[in-house]
Structure 1
């Protein structure tokens, strides 16, 4: 599914560039390309809904057939766009100037050239028209499957809100000096801030690194409770409803939204509920900045005397767009802390068992890359095994490290991180599948391949290879 979305993104970019190019005009296919562009916009919305439908086992089979047909169309579309650019470029290059000498020969050449160009134009126009017809059929199939249009930057309807939510209750097995130091630093900064101002603080880092856990530690710190009159924890997630979000904050602030079901009704209710009190609000798992800038900022600033919003997000740009005054980047867990967490999650007490398993256990921790979520998931696997070196080494060497073999909750965390990439970065990421495991890659060769395959978005005044280099960071 992710590869299909990446392919769709590449095709959309090719089509947009071709539509604006002189090539489309000289080929006489601009009208057909315009129709194709409008159809692809509608398919894009249905494609996003199809991604969520695939998580429903009952709808997965029929949805996969629809996606397979769409993939075939996109491959054909990519070829057509490339041919349009190639043939159109030839026609532009073959424009012959009139000259006083040899006029009859030039006229013959021009006649042959014009005849050839008509055939080329006719053939390309027919291919584009065929694409439009195929997309119409796919669109009808999408309607049969009840695929709903999903706005790229919009907010989801109330009945599609995420079922996986976090809460303010801390986990029992929080380990490591790093998280304690980070908690103390953030709490000190929050409580010593000018209380007359409403400020935003952010916690950022990759999925599974412990942002939510750090947020919970800060939220439950006694100094926060003493400093603020109202404390509220909200899990936002990718798919959220404006109405439900406002209703939940109002309830947790001690108010009642009554029968209000509209944003315009709920905003003043929330402001009145806060009643000039100081508030500490945690917005966990934020994917878009507009949940704050367009929805919550005005009612909170108008209703509260002062306050702090603590945001957790994977994307530092989201935090910056929300106006965060301080951004704390969560670092990966140290080996010692990772081993401590693994021991707690596998119920391994200090003693002979822990000592005999430490070396292989540390290898497992290293393979988890310092991610607490990965360690917890692998610990779940280990708890079903005998606490012996032989069994733990089997886990270390097994295929359980591939995404398809991991438990569902970890696959979800990996997929969301990947799904958040832009289409061209997805294509770059998928290119690593071409190489065998542990193969040493040359960055320069990768950059050249990405450029050659069209995975790098061209920017005016920039060298393509330099742009490709930025994709590594």
Structure 2
């Protein structure tokens, strides 16, 4: 069974592929560094399945995965920073003032002096991450992993990873403990309601997934619902693939060629009269709930949905009752 770390690595590789040719990235001139980063993440992606299988029995593998988790979060954050800083250098951005344009008159955008600072800062951070990942790849434990047990297909299904056996990270600090307890209490206080929704909202890399994982693994949560499922959605999900992934999460397998409507009915029939706790991680579009999951999930007696997203408007459109 796949874990949340596997989902994060796949999501990171997909995100790197998308941003390398982004105009905001090109203007920073860091595409070569990102291409190198992508190559290393893809190498790790090939062996993550075997590493996860061995994590519980081998302390060295568990430590290696902990280092990997930390650096993947850092990669996710620097990609957001790079796009943000790069977009501010584009001529059509509001921050691109006439003074900057005048100062750069007669020069290409890439050679403009006013771009050097942001390019250098982002480039230094990416090179630092490349060195960290290179160190992880050079670890002797990496050479013992089997790289042939995991599919490397690029279809939509590969971007949807189920996980009911999530890693418990080494969480520290009073804030994460306080937040997780608060949200667990909110879920339990509303567990008898039908499709009670909560959201964790924040920018990339701030720990939304980590907090959601802490809640998902909480023993009170595990003992309060009949069905538990974790779905990593990501930006370009496929409706049929996502419904199939939800069904596989709860132990129900689909037939080839089933339509969206047939899959929705199968989901509704499976959870009818049962309680469920569902995490939708990394949601980029509200219609995953409004158009796809709302109708079948209303067939249950009681349930809670925890959403993580970067956009508060998405959470509001979904109709969450609490935003953290």
Q: Does 1:198 align with 2:195?
A: yes
- When the two structures are aligned, how many residues end up with a matched partner? 185
Higher relative contact order (CA 8 A, sep 6+): 2
1:235-264 residue CA offsets vs partner (Å, 9 max, x unmatched): 101121111111121122232323343212
Distance 1:173 1:4, change over 3 A: closer
Q: State the SS of the aligned residue for 1:243.
A: helix
Unmatched tracts of structure 2, length 5 or more: 1-20, 28-34, 40-90, 92-153
Q: How far is the alpha carbon of 1:166 from its aligned partner? A: 7.8
Q: Does 1:280 align with 2:277?
A: yes
Q: State the SS of the aligned residue for 1:283.
A: strand
Match of 2:23 in 1: 3
Match of 1:465 in 2: none
CA contact (8 A) 1:170 1:217 kept: no
CA contact (8 A) 2:157 2:242 kept: no
Match of 1:319 in 2: 315
Quote the RMSD (CA, aligned, Å).
Answer: 3.1
Q: Which runs of 4+ in 1 moved over 3 A?
A: 4-7, 160-168
1:123-159 residue CA offsets vs partner (Å, 9 max, x unmatched): xxxxxxxxxxxxxxxxxxxxxxxxxxxxxxxxxxx82
Q: Does 1:172 align with 2:169?
A: yes
- TM-score normalised per structure 2: 0.51
Match of 2:228 in 1: 231
Distance 1:164 1:242, change over 3 A: closer
Match of 2:301 in 1: 305
Unmatched tracts of structure 1, length 5 or more: 8-52, 58-74, 76-157, 329-473
Q: How far is the alpha carbon of 1:290 from its aligned partner? A: 0.6
Higher helix proportion (structure 1 or 2):
1
Q: How far is the alpha carbon of 1:6 from its aligned partner? A: 11
Match of 1:221 in 2: 218
Partners of 1:293 and 1:314 lie apart in 2 by 18
- TM-score normalised per structure 1: 0.36
Partners of 2:212 and 2:162 lie apart in 1 by 11
Structure number with larger C-alpha Rg: 1
Q: State the SS of the aligned residue for 1:227.
A: coil
CA contact (8 A) 2:163 2:229 kept: no
Partners of 1:174 and 1:5 lie apart in 2 by 32
Distance 1:210 1:165, change over 3 A: farther
Distance 1:56 1:231, change over 3 A: closer
